[in-house]
Structure 1
Amino acid sequence: MSLSARLLGSLAPWRAAPAWHIALSGGLDSTVLLHLLAGLAQREALPPLCAIHIHHGLQAAADAWPAHCRELCAALSVPLHIEHVQVAPGASLERAARDARYGAFATALGVDEVLLTAQHRDDQAETLLFRLLRGAGVQGLSAMPAQRVLGAGQLVRPLLNCSRAELQAYATAHRLRWVDDPSNTDERFSRNYLRRQVLPALLSRWPQAGANMARSAAYLSEAGQLLDELAQQDLAGAEVAAELAWLPVPSLALPALRGLGEARQRNALRYWLRPFTTMPDSGHWAGWQALREAAADASPVWRLAEGELRRGDERLWWLSGDWLRTPPRLAQPVCAEQIVQLPGNGHVQIRGALPAGNWQLAYRQGGEQMLLAGRGRRDLKRVLNERRLPTFVRDRLPLLLLDGQVMALANLSGLHGPADGRWQLHWQPPTSDQGLS
């Protein structure tokens, strides 16, 4: 079957998409993908095509690539959009450039639109080998998915069943011109070393190694999907709503996880934590065991790359963003219906009519007491214990004071205002997401 026919078959599920965007670097692989699609568009009813070139500005040679892409797209009558990005400095230039590139792609995609990239079977084998050497688990060893969500649309890799040799033969037969990235020869980069030294040696001994590794990645992808389905089943009993419905922090009921074996606990937590943080390595999972086994009155913390997992009231709570920073001390005069922004801690509002007096917002400092109907004065610490408020919330829970005396605790039913409901203290806490806090 020809490359063109195989490409059309792999793209069948997305024929009704509003648009197809082609990630065009100007190199061999993306040039072949563009040429194939432009040819198919002449005889098939395809979604509108356009190309996107990302200019990273990381090397002098790249300055000539946008002009090359313009000439190529003009010859094929495919619109081209060129996006300039800034690459954030960091330990891995490759990763930073990739993050900038895919961030620009995500922004460019409209709802249900598709980004087509030109990774092929040899790239898949390279990715599998690279991740194997880094000690990846099943999810990592499934390598590059054929499709995934990107922004408001989908990222699709329609050439994963094609070899680089096939793309090279197609380019030669059609006399295509492409650019060569000088950085691809720099063997200080691990992927380049694998591509130029390790894979050729493997292929000289086992000619089918590339195809076999790509097939293994597909098997591992299926295994990963099955593990995800198992995690969803195991999490069903743990994702019951917390009593504190006003607390916008992801959480799980711990007893449901305790009933699972160790491996299934880790699998469920990996699945649940995946949207929040990169996964810990195998040695770091001792932090989970310590969190799980800590005494009931302890406040254990498991610190991960992008946040931390806390335990409280037999629940696991994921904290990130503002929740990891102590808000500045609060001593804020307040009046009724006023919305007060709390630095690093959301905002509060008093709903209803406050009596005259010296009203003030504050946080707990220790030693406070509160007058409770029929119970007299009670230490605030004991009151919060009775309400089973997680410890990470207590020092940022807004208090309403009158002449220095605690009159209300935000959001806690029966304690957030007088019994007659004349006024209530409402708090909108920060989210547990850095982008939304």
Structure 2
Amino acid sequence: MAHRHKRVSLQALIDDALAETPPGRVVWVALSGGMDSSLLLTLAAAACRRHPRPLRTLHVHHGLQAAADDFETHCRRLASRLGVPLFVERVAVERDAGLGLEGAARQARYAAFARRVAPGETLWLAQHRDDQAETFLLAALRGSGVRGLAGMPSEREWQGRRLVRPLLARSRAELEAEAGRRGLHWVDDPSNADETLDRNFLRRRVLTLLAQRWPQAGETLASSACHAAEAEALIAERAAEDLATLGGDPARLPLAGLAELSPARRRALLRHACHRLELLTPPAARLEALLAQFDARHDARVRVSWAGAEARIWRGHLHFLPSRPPLAPTWLVEWDGVSLLATPWRTVDVKLVPEEGGQASLRLMPRQGGESLRLARRGSRDLKRLLQEREVPPWERERLLVAWHGETPVAVLQPDAMRWLAVAEGWRAEVGKE
């Protein structure tokens, strides 16, 4: 008589996932306080007792509802009982970011992950098979392409960190049964009952109805996401080959090379470039608007934007970059030329000192127009002409800072790239480490 293959227990599944983490590498568990993440942390703690690894847990406090403090309290109690160090990140969700509440909360959450989890470390997320089915349906209803239909990967590299979803192949029902056997307590997020949110409506209404007719609906939808992921992997391989052919820089694509690709390969390459740059993929309408601009005249200032990102066409190339708020023309900072410099976008380690030695009292402010610098062996040079000579794109010129000594401009800083574009005669500039 044939024996059925025994299904691996959830604990064995987590033990195996832990074994794939290099010894000594920190493993983090994202802990919301709900059933799935509370179970994942419990299983991870048990696995680490048998196979020692440094384990930590991270709770993101979104502050979106009155129950948020209760979530944190539960997380602190659970982490304390399990003996796992807990870190809490409080975030402000940008409701007007154009991403919707769920999208804005996700963006804030991942920003918190990046702040707390160091590059080279691993972060475990507790999504399961039912979450994957919901993601697939949401993507289909939004008209997403193959990448969207592929749903959530079981693991991926993200900003130098490893994101892993060890429970992704298991159902919510199986997780609930295991949590019940272990006598776990968790908190139910009241917002999960809000059916004005798309995911909640799908979970509570649509998938429940589908399961009545097709009991394996959740499993088969998640399986379709796996098929889409395989197709996406093939598309990504071809797009990577096209990118290499066009120079290999996802932030700067030559229009002439793009024009030689078929429309489907062109779209795939643009999506691949955004993915490589960790920018949101442009919605279909924005992508088509961008493609329609490829024949713009040489000096046109084409700009197509979407949530958190934008594309520019300039001098025969398509440029992708993150959106940045404009710099207020009245912005000004006093600086001694040697301290770390806090700009509106980032803090930079640069220096600017007189060649004869000592420090100087400097002011940094945006370009006002009409500035000129006296350069060694070149005399007085108009800043506008200097930027044209050095082919600084127009959008980068908008974020330059001019250093003034008294009433004289003495240097131009590009904070994004942490570099000095021009330094006047009699001054010495340095750039520190990233």
TM beyond 0.5: yes
Where do residues 155-170 of structure 1 align in structure 2 (5 Å cutoff)? 155-170=163-178
Equivalent of 2:81 in 75, 78, 82: 75
Equivalent of 1:149 in 146, 157, 177: 157
Equivalent of 2:107 in 77, 80, 99: 99
Cα 1:22–1:315 shift into 2, 3 Å: closer
1:200 and 2:214 matched? no
1:290 and 2:292 matched? yes
Q: 1:36 maps to what in 2?
A: 43
Contact kept? 1:277, 1:307, Cα under 8 Å: no
Alpha-carbon separation, structure 1, partners of 2:220 and 2:372: 59
Contact kept? 1:320, 1:432, Cα under 8 Å: no
**DSSP-derived class of the 2:152 partner:** coil
Q: 1:132 maps to what in 2?
A: 140
Alpha-carbon separation, structure 1, partners of 2:40 and 2:383: 61
- Offset at residue 174 of structure 1 (A): 1.3
Equivalent of 2:194 in 165, 186, 201: 186
Which deviations, in whole Å up to 9, do the C-alpha atoms of 1:369-399 show, x marking residues without a partner? xxxxxxxxxxx9xxx8xx8969848998x9x
Equivalent of 2:376 in 324, 348, 352: 352
Q: 1:418 maps to what in 2?
A: none
Cα 1:350–1:327 shift into 2, 3 Å: farther
Cα 1:186–1:145 shift into 2, 3 Å: same
Where do residues 45-56 of structure 1 align in structure 2 (5 Å cutoff)? 45-56=51-62
Alpha-carbon separation, structure 2, partners of 1:30 and 1:319: 34
Q: 2:33 maps to what in 1?
A: 26
Which deviations, in whole Å up to 9, do the C-alpha atoms of 1:148-180 show, x marking residues without a partner? 334542221110011111111111111111111
Where do residues 198-347 of structure 1 align in structure 2 (5 Å cutoff)? 198-239=206-247, 250-274=251-275, 275=277, 277-295=279-297, 297=298, 299=300, 301-305=302-306, 306-312=309-315, 314-318=316-320, 343=366
**DSSP-derived class of the 1:293 partner:** coil
**DSSP-derived class of the 1:136 partner:** coil
- Offset at residue 109 of structure 1 (A): 0.9
Contact kept? 1:138, 1:224, Cα under 8 Å: yes
Residue type of the partner of 1:278?
Answer: L
- Offset at residue 34 of structure 1 (A): 1.4
Alpha-carbon separation, structure 2, partners of 1:82 and 1:219: 37
Equivalent of 1:86 in 92, 101, 105: 92
TM-score by length of 2: 0.73
Equivalent of 2:19 in 3, 9, 12: 12
Contact kept? 1:29, 1:167, Cα under 8 Å: yes
Contact kept? 2:372, 2:382, Cα under 8 Å: no
Alpha-carbon separation, structure 2, partners of 1:429 and 1:82: 34
Which deviations, in whole Å up to 9, do the C-alpha atoms of 1:156-209 show, x marking residues without a partner? 111001111111111111111111111111111111111111111111111111
Contact kept? 1:55, 1:82, Cα under 8 Å: yes
Count of matched residue pairs: 366
Cα 1:124–1:390 shift into 2, 3 Å: same
**DSSP-derived class of the 1:78 partner:** coil
Residue type of the partner of 2:272?
Answer: Y
Alpha-carbon separation, structure 2, partners of 1:219 and 1:39: 33
Cα 1:76–1:175 shift into 2, 3 Å: same
Alpha-carbon separation, structure 2, partners of 1:191 and 1:77: 34
Q: 1:375 maps to what in 2?
A: none
- Offset at residue 21 of structure 1 (A): 1.1
**DSSP-derived class of the 1:218 partner:** helix
Segments of structure 1 that go 5 or more residues without pairing to the other structure are 242-248, 329-335, 365-379, 399-424
Cα 1:14–1:186 shift into 2, 3 Å: same
Residue type of the partner of 1:69?
Answer: C
Residue type of the partner of 1:63?
Answer: D
Cα 1:300–1:160 shift into 2, 3 Å: same
Q: 1:413 maps to what in 2?
A: none
**DSSP-derived class of the 2:20 partner:** helix
Alpha-carbon separation, structure 2, partners of 1:179 and 1:276: 32
Cα 1:389–1:4 shift into 2, 3 Å: closer
Residue type of the partner of 2:41?
Answer: L
**DSSP-derived class of the 2:144 partner:** coil
Q: Highest CA radius of gyration, 1 or 2?
A: 1
Cα 1:218–1:120 shift into 2, 3 Å: same
Q: Mean alpha-carbon deviation: is it higher for 274-283 or for 17-26?
A: 274-283
Alpha-carbon separation, structure 2, partners of 1:125 and 1:348: 60
Cα 1:292–1:58 shift into 2, 3 Å: closer
Q: Mean alpha-carbon deviation: is it higher for 198-207 or for 298-307?
A: 298-307
Contact kept? 2:311, 2:318, Cα under 8 Å: no
Residue type of the partner of 1:363?
Answer: K
Residue type of the partner of 1:208?
Answer: Q
Contact kept? 1:119, 1:159, Cα under 8 Å: yes
Cα 1:258–1:193 shift into 2, 3 Å: same
**DSSP-derived class of the 2:239 partner:** helix
Alpha-carbon separation, structure 2, partners of 1:130 and 1:13: 31
Give the alignment's Cα RMSD to 1 decimal: 3.6
Alpha-carbon separation, structure 1, partners of 2:278 and 2:102: 22
- Offset at residue 258 of structure 1 (A): 1.8
